[in-house]
Each structure stands twice: as structure tokens, then as C-alpha cells.
Chains A and B, each alone.
Chain A
């Protein structure tokens, strides 16, 4: 995660370590230029003694995500030079090799919660490799999927989207990502701010899941949340819905929301006033499917 000096989440992404001193950095969608600028800014003004250089490779690579239980089966015959076994290439790995004869940087990572890989090839090969994967995938019933599907799948697993579930005022703890902070690190941008009293208040807005009382109702993103539906207007708003979808897997709606003191409200019912009536939802964990993450290696 990338924080600002103020301790708030600015971006998130995956970093692959290719060598002791060579890293491949990815960011949230559309964030690469912004993150590069921020790193370059710090490099030039705060850390000029660091011997390191940043080069944008955003358009150097075409990236194809492959997810599902047959992901490895599909890739194995096409990939050379990389041991794809579970021991050699567990979830969250990166390696260089070839796919269909062209260079690849292969990541094992997942934004769907299922076994996932991201195949990076030099950009001008992207189209040909895509077509090859579709052809080879017919055997497994491969299906291209778009951003709407991607959004639903990640929400079912509680994976946030920076800029959708965060709005620049969430700390890692607020978003349930305290585990990503290296507490033993002597310093990082934003560390000092995370210790401010205001950042430690228990009633900060925290990211939680919501399951509507009526499973067929899909909440509207941005809808405000109140604790007492009978209070007079203007009501005290305690949060809002950040992401909301129909989940085919669960055959019901799911939603993510930020609510004051949300983590302490598991199981509580909250209210969402809408123009044609007030809806009810129960506060839950942000992970709706496979909380043990068994599908990552299935």
C-alpha cells in the first residue's frame, strides 16, 4: 500500500521482486503515473542519496489475467522455463520465462480469490498471446470476463478498490488492511501520522460488509447509512455504501460500506434511507465467500 504523509491510503498494488535490486511495481488501475510521480518526487527531494532509478513500463507490457481451478492446467503446456508447481510457484510469486516462445513475466496473484496468474508479455505480442490462450482454453471452457464481473468477484472476497472503497480519508486499519503495514519498519511515509490520536479513535469509519434484509435488494453505491431510522431530518449519517453488487455465487446482493465503529458492529442492523423507503442491512465481515482462501490454491 502507498500512504500519504497524512497516513491515508493513496494507492495499492502488487510488487514483484525480480532480483535483489530490481522490482516490478504495479498499482491500482490508472494509478501508475501518479505513483511514479510520487516516488520520483520523494527520490529527488527527500531521498536524493538513494541509488535507484524508476522507469515507467506501463505500456511495455500487455497483461492477461487467468483465474480459476484450471488456470495452471491451461498455462503449463505453454510456459517454458518456469517451474509452476505449488512448491516452486506458490500464490504471490513472480518469475521470468517464455510463453509460446515470447518472453513473459509471470505473476501468480489473484483479484478473484481463485487460483490466479497474470501473464505479462511485451505489449505488441499481447493480442497474439490472448488469442492463443483463448484457443488453448477451449478445452477448459475458458471465458473472457470484463470489469463488471471482476468487480463482483473481488467484492465477494472483500478486496478493496482504492478510490471506490477508499476516499482518501481511510487508514490501512480503517480498511481492514492493518496486516499490510510493516510494524517493525523503522520508518515509511505516513508512519508518524498513523500514531496520531485521531487515527486511533475506535469510532472511525471502518470498512465492513453489508447483507440486506431482503436478499433481492441491491443497495445503491453512495447511499447514506443511519443507526436510527426514526430520528428527525437532518439525520446523523454514520457512513455510506462504497460497493454494491448482485452476487450470482451467493444468489443475493452483497455490499461493502464504511461505518463509524463498523468493526464493533458485527451482526447489528443498520438503516439506509432511500427516496421510496428505508432499507435494512446487517453488518458483516467483508469476506463473503471462502474465508479460508482455499480456492487460491485449488
Chain B
């Protein structure tokens, strides 16, 4: 199989990061699902878990994450090994229920932002109120003019999903912020 070149491959912050750390997330299957909300139950059956019906909602489990980022738009993440099965299942659904499932696995990369100061690190360049973001929610937002999807998986753990060509900028930005936080600037 051909080698993949990941834009953030092997990036890591130097030294111990007690307050906040960032790391590239391992590769996964990613999809944008567009479907009439009235058909959400059918899509949920195919996905194998209830897709969140409200914008901002996030449902995770078994290595999968589903978040509602628009009136008829869901962002789905799953282990790479499950990509083909997911595509086949939705293709079968299409016979009765039209929708759009687009593979964006290679479109973006994930950056995990973790630690007691994760909220502070993200708030530095995001206008959205990070502190008020419920645990177990997600949204499309902007970090320093770059469009991202931001997921809050835990009190101190976030995931930034960013397009390839913007990932270097966002990584460097967050790395600088993390450094400042560690230094207590």
C-alpha cells in the first residue's frame, strides 16, 4: 500500500507539558453526512448509534464520533478499518432515503488539545465562548481566520479538526500558545 504523508506527522511539543498539550490525532475515516433531519432515524440505524438531532450535539462511543454542525449536516469520525463498511451501509440506505455521504478522511487532520489549561489555550484565538461549550458538544468555528470543527470530548480535552493546508498554521499557533501557558506568560 502506498505511504501516506500526513501534514502533522510526528509533530510533538518538546518537553513535558503539565498545563496543556497538543498532539496530532491518529488517522481516521471522516465523512460529511447531509440528510433531511426527518430521516435522521434511518441514518442512525445505519450509523449504529443515535445521531445527535440538535446543532452542537455530539455522540461518541466505540471509537466513533458524530456531531451535528448544521441544520442538515453531520460530521462523522470512525476508525479507518470501518470506512468501507460505513460507505456500503449508507449506499444501501440511498435506495430508500436520499442523502449525501462524502468521504473527507484526507481533507482534514485532527489536533488533540488536552490538559487543565486547554480551555485557556483555545480561547486565546477563538472568539466562540470555549468555557461555556458543553462537554460532549461540537461546532464549526474559526481559529485565527481558519475554519475548523471543534469537539469538546471532556472537561479538559478537545479536538480541533482542520483542513490539511491550514494545519501547519494552526499547529504552530497552538504550539506557541501552549509554550506561553507553560512559561506562565
Residue positions of A touching B, CB distance < 8 A: 21, 51-53, 55-61, 100-102, 122-129, 132
For B100, list chain A residues within 8 Å (CB): 52-53, 55
For A129, list chain B residues within 8 Å (CB): 2
CB of B106 within 8 Å of the partner chain: yes
Q: A124–B6 contact, CB under 8 A? A: yes
- Take A59-B164, A102-B1, A128-B4 as given contacts and tell me if A123 and B102 are in contact as well, using a CB distance cutoff of 8 Å: no
Q: A122–B105 contact, CB under 8 A? A: yes
Q: A101–B32 contact, CB under 8 A? A: no
CB of B140 within 8 Å of the partner chain: no
* Selected A-B contacts with CB under 8 Å, 5 pairs: A53-B34, A59-B106, A124-B164, A125-B4, A128-B4
A124 to B110 alpha-carbon distance, docked (Å): 14
Q: A124–B34 contact, CB under 8 A? A: no
Residue positions of B touching A, CB distance < 8 A: 1-6, 27, 32, 34, 72, 98-100, 102-108, 163-165
What distance in Å separates the Cβ of A40 from its nearest Cβ neighbour in chain B?
A: 11
Q: B2–A128 contact, CB under 8 A? A: yes
A47 to B163 alpha-carbon distance, docked (Å): 29
Q: Which residue of A lies closest to B162 (CB)?
A: A59
Q: A59–B165 contact, CB under 8 A? A: yes
Contact of B5 among A52, A58, A124 (CB under 8 A): A124
Which applies to chain B's interface (DSSP): helix, strand, loop or mixed? loop
Q: B32–A123 contact, CB under 8 A? A: no
A122 to B80 alpha-carbon distance, docked (Å): 13
For A128, list chain B residues within 8 Å (CB): 2-5
Q: A101–B1 contact, CB under 8 A? A: yes
Besides A55-B100, A122-B105, A123-B106, 7 other A-B contacts (C-beta < 8 A): A55-B104, A60-B105, A123-B107, A125-B5, A127-B5, A128-B3, A128-B5
What distance in Å separates the Cβ of A132 from its nearest Cβ neighbour in chain B?
A: 7
A129 to B3 alpha-carbon distance, docked (Å): 9
What distance in Å separates the Cβ of A256 from its nearest Cβ neighbour in chain B?
A: 31
A124 to B107 alpha-carbon distance, docked (Å): 9
Q: B1–A123 contact, CB under 8 A? A: no
A56 to B102 alpha-carbon distance, docked (Å): 9
Most buried by A among B2, B5, B32, B165: B2
Q: B32–A59 contact, CB under 8 A? A: no
A39 to B106 alpha-carbon distance, docked (Å): 24
Q: B2–A132 contact, CB under 8 A? A: yes
For B104, list chain A residues within 8 Å (CB): 55, 57, 60
Q: B102–A55 contact, CB under 8 A? A: yes
Q: Which residue of B lies closest to A62 (CB)?
A: B106
Q: Which residue of B lies closest to A126 (CB)?
A: B5
Q: Which residue of B lies closest to A128 (CB)?
A: B2
A102 to B106 alpha-carbon distance, docked (Å): 13
- Take A51-B98, A123-B164 as given contacts and tell me if A59 and B5 are in contact as well, using a CB distance cutoff of 8 Å: no
For B34, list chain A residues within 8 Å (CB): 53, 55
Q: A124–B32 contact, CB under 8 A? A: no
What distance in Å separates the Cβ of A229 from its nearest Cβ neighbour in chain B?
A: 48
Q: Which residue of A lies closest to B166 (CB)?
A: A59
Q: B4–A57 contact, CB under 8 A? A: no
A53 to B70 alpha-carbon distance, docked (Å): 12
Q: Which residue of B lies closest to A55 (CB)?
A: B102
For B107, list chain A residues within 8 Å (CB): 56-60, 123
A58 to B102 alpha-carbon distance, docked (Å): 12
For A123, list chain B residues within 8 Å (CB): 106-107, 164
A41 to B165 alpha-carbon distance, docked (Å): 25
A123 to B104 alpha-carbon distance, docked (Å): 10
Q: Which residue of A lies closest to B109 (CB)?
A: A124
A123 to B100 alpha-carbon distance, docked (Å): 21
Contact of B2 among A21, A57, A125 (CB under 8 A): A125
Most buried by A among B1, B3, B103, B106: B106
Q: Which A-B residue pairs are the 10 nearest by beta carbons?
A: A53-B34, A122-B106, A53-B100, A124-B4, A123-B106, A60-B107, A128-B2, A55-B102, A127-B5, A59-B163
A52 to B99 alpha-carbon distance, docked (Å): 8
